[in-house]
Structure 1
Amino acid sequence: MWDERVPVHVAGDFYDLDAFRTRPDVLRDFETAEVGDVTGRTLLHLQCHIGTDTLSWAHRGAARVVGLDFSAPAVEAARALAAGLGHGPERAAFVTGDVYDAAQSVPEASYDIVYTGLGALCWLPDIRRWAETAASLVAPGGFLYLAEFHPVTESLDDATGTRIVRDYFARDAQVWDEPGTYADPDAETVHNRSVQWQHTLGDVVSALAATGLHIEFLHEHDVSVFPRFENFEVRGGYHRFPDGHPRIPLIYSLKATKG
């Protein structure tokens, strides 16, 4: 499924790679504020897709970035994008591999920053195994930074986000068979079956804490990067509920350090 969608994402307006090549920075303002200065640091991006977030960290000064994804076409697209920006593999490397086996796939044993961006964890059935793998790749004195869509949004109605219609604590696999992609709902696709899992906020935090990482902060944000609910409007570069509408957390972010 992901292999088939890579050409759609590379060519489409959602990722707008022509604009990215002109200004290679698509990171959200809360991410850059919370991660801080990355100058001279090494960064590993797990589940990097076509590498736009990964390369944005390089643009912001990271000495070396490494992106890992299980889709070979996505990795090839990321390598091509990096080369077009003038980054050789010594500055920006991309490797194909399962995130659970990342320690065997990436070129270095550890990194100053291990980063996971929006929309990644829902594809993983075992959040504890993910946490153990991610934590093992954080260098002493380094940290893991995660930004993810808040799981509470999946329990609410899609129209207004005011009614609970789904079980927040559901652990069963959710199987979908839908054509198109979030980047282009009208795209013609053949491989349409996908499987997702819901991980509560408590599951994610507890999984990371069990690895020995120190949870430095957990922040919740009332903005989204896509129209999650039908009544959303765009203000300040984000999708939000209308003024006066009760707010809920739409994204969360956390930082977990290794002593």
Structure 2
Amino acid sequence: MYSPTPSDWREANRKRWDERVPLHLASDYYDLEAFRSGKDPLRDFELAEVGDVTGRSLLHLQCHIGLDTLSWCRHGASRVVGLDFSEPAVDAARDLAAELGLTADQASFVAADVYDAADAVPDTSYDIVYTGVGALCWLPDIQRWAETVAALVAPGGFLYLAEFHPLADILDDETGSRIEYDYFARDAWIEETPGGYADTTTPTVHNRKVEWQHPVGEVITALASAGLRVDFLHEHDTTLFERFGSLELRDGAYQFPVDRPRIPLMYSLKASRAVA
């Protein structure tokens, strides 16, 4: 339900994510054994749109257990830094980096709130600031996020964001064919939801979550007003999980049946900082 932002939103969300870290580490969804063996969790469109990262520094905001972060290191980034507000998630990411034989100069992780990133990360700027899917919904103030990001992008560098499309948030869960919610809602969405996307069966205690919906126009405007130039905005008709009961798994991604009109389920964008 939509409600005013509760004062404990950050703590409620942190407890939820802390509890789910061990579930995610053991889950088939993240498949850590395959990752250790070299499986790449990054999406093909991300690799194509970000391009060659060889020799570049990369900061991953809201990195969770660090699989995407460490994958950019495998793709040649000279230094990756991951930041997340969940200390258990950061501990897990550090353990994985050590297992892969990476030094702290190659891959490091910081436990901090994303809004405090500029003061928490080890370097003042990065060639690439990356934010993966399912991150922005946990933040109430997208303008503050954009200003934080812009402060961390080095001159000549860029932000790359891949995210679930907010249009999908307004549709019914069963079929994804009916509009049930307000696309322009600004209040928090507060819900008690056990389990999660990676484990739907293990009982959980911290089930309350507080999220926000950010229309694409709001995200673009926030980045532009923070001083970044938007180079592209791409919309995608696939998603990473069965968001609606009517979706089908085809070619490794969830899509609507071929006889249904398509809508955007994800989007990606690149926003650059001019060379000083």
Shorter-chain TM-score bucket reads over 0.9
The correspondence for 1:86, drawn from 53, 78, 101, is 101
- Number of aligned residues: 259
Deviations 1:92-111 (A, max 9, x none): 00000000000010000000
* Aligned pairs for 1:21-32 within 5 A: 21-32=36-47
One-letter code of the match for 1:248? I
| Aligned residue type for 1:190 | V
Quick check: 1:129 aligned with 2:144?
Answer: yes
Distance 1:24 1:165 in 2: 38
Matched, 1:163 2:198: no
Give TM-score, length-normalised by structure 1.
Answer: 0.99
Corresponding residue SS for 2:108: strand
> Does 1:13 pair with 2:28?
yes
Superposed counterparts of 1:31-180, under 5 Å: 31-180=46-195
Matched residue of 2:206: which SS? Answer: coil
The AA in structure 2 aligned to 1:254 is: L
Q: Report the counterpart of residue 218 of structure 2 in structure 1.
A: 203
Letter of the 1:11 partner, please give it.
A
1:227 alignment partner, one of 230, 242, 247: 242
The answer to whether the 8 A contact 1:181-1:187 is kept is no
User: What secondary structure sits across from 2:65 in the alignment?
Assistant: coil
Counterpart among 232, 246, 252 of residue 237 in structure 1:
252
The answer for unaligned runs of 5 or more in structure 2 is: 1-15
Aligned-pair CA distance for 1:159: 2.0
Instruction: For 1:117 and 1:75, locate their aligned partners in 2 and report how far apart those are by CA, in whole Å.
Output: 16
CA distance in 2, matches of 1:55, 1:187: 27
Match of 2:8 in 1: none
Does the CA contact (< 8 Å) of 1:146 and 1:255 recur in 2?
yes
In structure 1, distance between residues paired with 2:233 and 2:79: 26
Q: Contact 1:25–1:55 at 8 Å: present in 2 too?
A: no
Off by >6 Å, runs of 4+ in structure 1: none
**Aligned mates of 2:41, 2:206 — CA distance in 1:** 28
Shift of 1:186: 1.1
Q: CA deviation at 1:54?
A: 0.3
Q: Could you tell me how far 1:24 is from its partner in structure 2?
A: 4.5
Structure 1: 5+ residue runs without aligned partners?
none
Deviation at 1:160, TM superposition (A): 2.0
Shift of 1:11: 1.2
Q: Which has the higher contact order (CA 8 A, sep 6+)?
A: 2
